[in-house]
Structure 1
Amino acid sequence: MFEGQSNTCGIRLGEMVSTRLPESLQQDVGPDLGRYRVLEITHTVDDKGLYANTFKGVAGATETLPLPENVTPPTAFPELATVIDNADPENLGRVRVRFLWQNSDQNSNWIRVQTPDAGTSGVIEKNRGLFFIPEIDDQVMVAFEQGDPARPYVAGSLFHQGNSGGMAPDNNLKSITTRSGHTIEFDDTDGAEKINIRDNGGSVITFDTKEKSLLIQSVENIDISAKNIRLSAQEKVSIGAQQNVEIAAEADVNTLAKGNVTTQSDGDTTLAAKGALTAEATADATIKGQNVTIEGKVAADLIGMQTSVQGQMTAVQGASGKVEVM
Structure 2
Amino acid sequence: MEKKLITEINIENKAITHFASFSLKQAFNAHHYFELRFNHDQMGAPGMISLNDSRDFVGKTLTASFGYDAGSLQGFAGLVTKVELAQSHGYHGVLIVSGYSPTILIDRGPDLGSYLDKDLNTIVNLATSDVPSNDIKIVANAARKEPIDYLIQYRESDFDFLNRLSGEYHEWFYYDGKQLNFGKPDDQKEVALIYGRDVQNLQYAMEIAPIKNKRFAYNPKQDEMLQSESSGQGNGSPDLMHAIQVSNAMYSKTFNQPSLIRVDNSNDIKNHVQNEEKAHISNLLKVNASGDNAALSIGSIAEIMMSVRKELSFSTESMGKFLITSINHDIDGTGKYYNTFEGVVATTERLLVKNYSKPSPDMQLADVIDNADPQGQGRIKVKFKWECKTNDVTEWLRVITPDAGSSDKVSKNRGFVFIPEIGDQVALTFEEGNIARPIVLGSVFHGKSGSGGSASNNSKSLTSKSGHTLTMDDGAGMVMKDKDSNFIELDGAGKAVFETKESILITCGESSIFMDKTGKIIIKGKDILTLGENIGNSATTSIGIGVGPEDGTPTSGIGIESQTLDIGTKTLSMSGETEANLASKKINVGGESETNISSGKINLN
- Separation in 2 of the partners of 1:221 and 1:160? 38
Q: In 2, distance between residues paired with 1:262 and 1:278?
A: 24
Q: Which residue is equivalent to 1:74?
A: 359
Q: How does 1:121-160 map to 2 (within 5 A)?
A: 121-160=407-446
Q: CA deviation at 1:265?
A: 3.8
Q: Does structure 1 residue 83 correspond to structure 2 residue 368?
A: yes
Counterpart code for 1:196: V
The one-letter amino acid paired with 2:449 is N
Deviation readout 1:186-245 (Å, 9 max, x if unpaired): 0112xxx211000011110011212x02211111111122216599xxxxxxx9997454
Sequence identity, in percent? 27
Cα offset, 1:267, TM superposition: 3.2
- CA offsets, 1:264-322, max 9 Å, x none? 44434455553545556656555566766555555555555555566xxxxxxxxxxxx
Amino acid at match of 2:431: E
Structure-2 residue corresponding to 1:3: none
1:209 to 483, 488, 492: 492
In the TM superposition, what is the alpha-carbon distance from 1:171 to its structure 2 partner? Answer: 1.5
User: Is the Cα contact below 8 Å between 2:503 and 2:517 reproduced in 1?
Assistant: no
Query: How far apart are the structure 1 equivalents of 2:396 and 2:499?
Result: 42
Work out the CA distance in 2 between the residues paired with 1:308 and 1:288: 15
Q: 1:175 pairs with 461, 473, 481, which one?
A: 461
**In the alignment, which of 505, 529, 545 is matched to residue 223 of structure 1?**
505
Which one-letter code corresponds to 2:432 in the other structure? Q
Partner of 2:344 in structure 1?
A: 55
Residue correspondence of structure 1 range 99-138 to structure 2 within 5 A = 99-101=384-386, 106-138=392-424
Q: Does the 8 A contact of 2:505 with 2:512 survive in 1? A: no
Distance in 1 between residues matched to 2:522 and 2:593, nearest whole Å = 33
Counterpart of 2:278 (choices 37, 50, 56) is: 37
Indicate the residue corresponding to 2:115 in structure 1: none
1:21 pairs with 2:306: no
1:267 aligns with 2:541: yes
Distance 1:244 1:113, change over 3 A: closer
Aligned: 1:92 with 2:366: no
Report which of the two has the higher share of helix.
Answer: 2
- Unaligned residue ranges in structure 1 (runs of 5+): 1-11, 30-34, 232-238, 311-326
Counterpart amino acid of residue 491 in structure 2: D
**Secondary structure in structure 2 of the residue aligned to 1:206:** strand
C-alpha distance after superposition, 1:7-66 (max 9, x if no partner): xxxxx96889731427xx9xxx9xxxxx97345465666759861436379x99x9xx98
8 Å Cα contact 2:367-2:424 kept in structure 1: yes
Kindly provide the amino acid, as one letter, of the partner of residue 209 in structure 1. Answer: G
Give the aligned partner of residue 197 of structure 1: 480
1:218 is aligned with what amino acid? Answer: T
Say if 1:161 and 1:256 are closer, same or farther in 2 by CA, change over 3 A.
Answer: closer
Q: Secondary structure at the match of 2:456?
A: helix
Any conservation in 2 of the 1:83–1:139 contact (CA below 8 Å)? yes
| Unaligned residue ranges in structure 2 (runs of 5+) | 1-170, 173-182, 185-232, 246-274, 294-302, 305-319, 323-342, 548-554, 556-569
Correspondence 1:175-324 to 2 at 5 A: 175-189=461-475, 193-210=476-493, 212-227=494-509, 229=511, 243-247=519-523, 255=529, 257=531, 259=533, 262-270=536-544, 274=555, 276-278=571-573, 282=577, 296-304=591-599
More strand by share: 2
Q: Which stretch of structure 1 is more off in the superposition, 296-305 or 215-224?
A: 296-305
**One-letter identity of the residue aligned with 1:37:** K
Moved over 4 A (4+): 12-17, 38-50, 102-105, 228-231, 239-249, 253-264, 268-273, 275-310
1:267–1:287 Cα change, 3 Å:
farther
Secondary structure of the residue aligned to 2:507 is coil
Residue type at the aligned position of 1:267:
T
Aligned letter for 1:214? A
Aligned residues of 2:371 and 2:378 also touching (Cα < 8 A): yes
Distance 1:304 1:203, change over 3 A: farther
How big is the shift at 1:181? Answer: 0.5
Higher relative contact order (CA 8 A, sep 6+): 2
| Contact 1:75/1:148 (<8 A) preserved | yes
How far, CA to CA, are the matches of 1:306 and 1:260 in structure 2? 39
Displacement of 1:122 in angstroms is 1.3
- Whole-Å Cα distance in 2 between the matches of residues 149 and 220 of structure 1? 54
2:436 and 2:463 map into 1 onto residues whose CA distance is 33
Q: Give the drift of 1:165.
A: 2.2
The TM-score, its normalising length taken from structure 2, stands at: 0.38
Quote how far apart the aligned CAs of 1:154 are. 0.9
| Distance of 1:136 and 1:219 partners within structure 2 | 31
Distance 1:289 1:247 in 2: 37
Tell me, in whole angstroms, the C-alpha distance in 2 between the residues paired with 1:300 and 1:67.
121
Cα distance change of structure 1 residues 270 and 180 upon mapping to structure 2, 3 Å threshold: closer
Q: Residues of 2 paired with 1:140 and 1:129: CA distance?
A: 20
For the 8 Å contact 1:176–1:184, the answer to whether it is kept is: yes
- Whether contact under 8 Å (1:114, 1:153) holds in the other structure is yes
SS of residue matched to 1:224:
strand
Q: Label 1:92 to 1:271 Cα distance change in 2 as closer, same or farther (>3 A).
A: closer
Distance 1:67 1:132, change over 3 A: farther
